[in-house]
Structure 1
Amino acid sequence: MGDPGEGSKTKLPEPDDCPVSKLYLDTENPRLREAAATASQEELAQLLAGYNLEELGESMAELGYFRQEPLLVVPDDKDPDAYVVVEGNRRLAALKLLADASAHPTDGGNWAELAQRAQENGHDLSQVPILKYERRENLLEYLGFRHVSGLIQWESEAKARFVHRLIVHHRFTFEKAARVIGSRSDAIRRQFVAWSTLEQARKAGIDVSYAVDRFGVFYRALQNPAIRAFAGVQGWTDAEPAEFSPLESDSLPAFTELLGFIFGPDRVIRESRRLDELGRVLAEPLTVEILRQSRDLDSAIRELPEDRTALIAALRVVFRRLTVVNGQIFEFEGDADLLTEAERIQKVATVMIESLRG
């Protein structure tokens, strides 16, 4: 079967019906974390429970299952009569929870009540429509376009996990991944580097859970060159695909410290808009030490050396304003007050020039 995204050009085949009991949730679902790889089907349903499953259950109980939305599946390796759902895991999780009220999530979901309502409304949810594909690879392009750059987008963390998997497990180049997803290769590379950094740190025993939970903030932090330099993150602009480790072994302590500054219990920023200020502090050894001791970003900022770019900009503003004044000053020849102010400016300018000349 071809690309499921070709519906505008090629009529899709009529879906088959399959018992829900023969459909398995996908352990490779990009929404789920590493623990999903060894999780049971009940545990996977629990992991997905946070993704508005009960709203889906409500809809199915009232309206049934829409045949226009078949689950996209591939054969299961262990059971020749079963399938793994590659696209539609939220729907399948809701169906499984409706089928087995004892597996309801611990958040107080009313799955037994919803199952009873579906039965009263005459909806048989024991089997659903599926479209079969021979291999997972046949669905990668569809998933990328639909969930990374399409209308039904995953969270930033799931997008990055999917990009990382395309490159590491399926050996996509950055350029091919960009074409598949509908993005740019440099954006794909940055997502890959960011997720590779967390993967490497996690395997080294560093707790990266907070960075995963707030991956958008972590990604934004790595966009700052000074933050990357402090943490020892390499390859942001020149990484190669395949086996890539962004962190040198001796930079792991600094990376751990960075996670503490941003996400730790005594973190130094509360708003992502201050990440660039953090970058300025991390670029100076003196202010880094102040930050370590005080855990106060503002205290560290006050000790920063003057920024050369800001000084140049300030001098240019003063010059432009003085030029305007100079064009009007002839009208006030002999004005003592204006002369006093001009002499004050002259003295300051003389001191600055002498300082700069050394």
Structure 2
Amino acid sequence: MKQRKIEYADLSHIALDPKNPRLGRSAHQKNLAQDEIFDLMRDWSLEELATSFLESGFWAHEAVLCVEEEIHGDDRLVVIEGNRRIAALKRLKKAYDGDETSRKWLEIIEGIQEPEKLFSEVPFIRLEERGEVDAFLGFRHVTGIKEWAPPEKAQFIAKLIDQNGLSYRDVMRQIGSKTPTVQRNYIAYSILMQMEETEGLDVGKVEDKFSVLFLSLARTDVRNFLGLREKFEVPPEQVRPPISEEFVPRLKEYSRWLFGDEENAPVVTDSRQVDKFSKVLASDEGLDYLRTVRRPSLEKAFVIAGGDQEELYELMTTAAYNVEEALSSIHHYADDEKLIRIVQRLSSNVAQINKIFEI
């Protein structure tokens, strides 16, 4: 971004951004009016900002970034970065104007005279166009300390690729994220877009758990189940649609099991279960169970898929090594009563194992 001077404008001349990623895709599609955007932002923890403004003012180093755009027929200074600050100011102004009914906000201004120039001289930096700060927004909200929610990050990455024509590597350099992470975000967002156009899928449920979709795509078995392997080997312009027509029925199954629908609860209820889910998808027996049982259980599907076998190997191997290590010194404590009880329990368990394996 070029070095630009700080300017000042009356708060009434500054508009909240209807394209703010934090508002979400559904809000973007509605072309919301300013009052509607303001209402969506009421729960964005604005009080702490307002209190700071009353105590210390709006310092020039906090200048918001704006671009001149037409909104609903009027040319406005639209905030590209700093929407929370402007929303807090606007709510403070409403409180001083007598248009605020919230007791909390009325308490914030109680006994404090309206600060001179707080609303009439708001510091801002004028941009020529939105793309001028893409790299800054990426570092700040995708990989930085003020992170957006997972679907908002993915949407921003998709914008850089689809609208700006950047490659995965270009985006990596611009926002400071790893290339595989950028790629997975883009493919996950592309799947979300395809789901939106696929009959019978509840995209709202998917968007609410977008991080689970993103995490699942790191598993090879999930990629294979959805026929996605090739999409991770081609440039972004060849990704869409990510799911080929022959795999759309599987996409519907994947969505139902992972996110649920109006009639079915999700089989996967926690992001930590993604590994087990991926193993089930790689098993014909596990898939048959998910497809035929009315209310399938992930744990049972995992066992049917043989997923607990690796866990069993690890448990038994660890137990064997521990016993071997104990043998080096156990003879020194042959009269220890507590140790005798432990050995008796171990012997009983070993006898059961021997019976199972007919040893």
- With normalisation by structure 2, the TM-score equals 0.76
1:217 partner letter: V
Counterpart of 2:254 in structure 1 is: 258
CA separation in 1, counterparts of 2:312 and 2:81? 55
Alpha-carbon distance in structure 1 between the residues aligned to 2:139 and 2:254: 33
Paired residues for 1:51-70 under 5 Å: 51-70=44-63
Of the three residues 188, 197, 206, the one matched with 1:211 is: 206
Cα offsets for 1:79-122 (capped at 9, x unmatched): 775211111111122222333359879xx674455466664455
Provide, for residues 55-77 of structure 1, a one-character-per-residue CA deviation record: whole Å limited to 9, x for no partner.
Answer: 22232233332221001011113
Higher mean C-alpha deviation, range 73-82 or range 294-303 = 73-82
Q: 1:62 to 1:253 in 2, by over 3 A?
A: farther
Point out where structure 1 has 5 or more consecutive residues left out of the alignment. Answer: 3-11, 325-340, 352-358
Q: For structure 1, which segment, 176-185 or 24-33, has the greater mean C-alpha deviation from structure 2 after superposition?
A: 24-33
Give me the whole-angstrom Cα distance separating, in 1, the residues matched to 2:210 and 2:58: 34
User: Could you tell me which residue of structure 2 aligns to residue 278 of structure 1?
Assistant: 277
Matches within 5 A, 1:71-220: 71-77=64-70, 82-100=76-94, 110-114=104-108, 119-120=113-114, 122=116, 124-205=118-199, 206-220=201-215
Kept in 2, the 8 Å contact 1:64–1:125? The answer is: no
Show the 5 A alignment for 1:10-25. Answer: 12-25=3-16
Match of 1:229 in 2: 224
Matched residue SS, 1:100: helix
**Count of aligned pairs:** 326
| 2:4–2:126 CA contact under 8 A, matched in 1 | no
SS of the counterpart of 1:77?
Answer: strand
Q: Could you tell me how far apart the structure 1 residues matched to 2:132 and 2:155 are?
A: 18
SS in 2 for 1:129: strand
Q: Given the superposition, is the C-alpha separation of residues 62 and 190 from structure 1 closer, same or farther in structure 2, using an over 3 Å criterion?
A: same
| Paired residue secondary structure (2:9) | strand
Q: Which residue identity lines up with residue 16 of structure 2 in the other structure?
A: L
* 1:32 corresponds to which of 23, 29, 34: 23
Q: Quick one: which amino acid aligns to residue 279 of structure 1?
A: S
Retained in 1: the 8 A contact 2:276–2:307?
Answer: no
| Displacement after TM superposition at 1:316 (Å) | 8.0
Hey, what's the Cα distance between the residues in 2 that align with 1:56 and 1:250? 52
Distance 1:126 1:142, change over 3 A: same
Structure 2: 5+ residue stretches without partners:
326-349
Shift of 1:210: 2.5
Using the TM superposition, give the Cα deviation of residue 181 of structure 1 relative to its aligned residue in structure 2, in angstroms: 0.6
**Residue in structure 2 matched with residue 240 of structure 1 by the alignment:** 235
- Where does residue 301 of structure 1 map in the other structure? 302
d(CA) in 1 for partners of 2:228, 2:324: 46
- Identity over aligned pairs, percent: 30
Alpha-carbon distance, 1:136 to partner? 1.1
2:284–2:305: 8 Å Cα contact kept in structure 1?
Answer: no
Counterparts of 2:307 and 2:189, CA distance in 1: 35
Q: 1:104 to 1:198 in 2, by over 3 A?
A: farther
- Give the drift of 1:271: 2.2
Structure 2 SS opposite 1:51: coil
With over 3 angstroms needed to count, the CA separation of the structure-2 counterparts of 1:239 and 1:43, relative to structure 1, is farther
Give 1:50 shift. 3.4
Shift of 1:269: 2.8
Q: Aligned pair in 2 of structure 1 residues 21, 249: CA closer, same or farther (>3 Å)?
A: farther
Match of 2:344 in 1: none
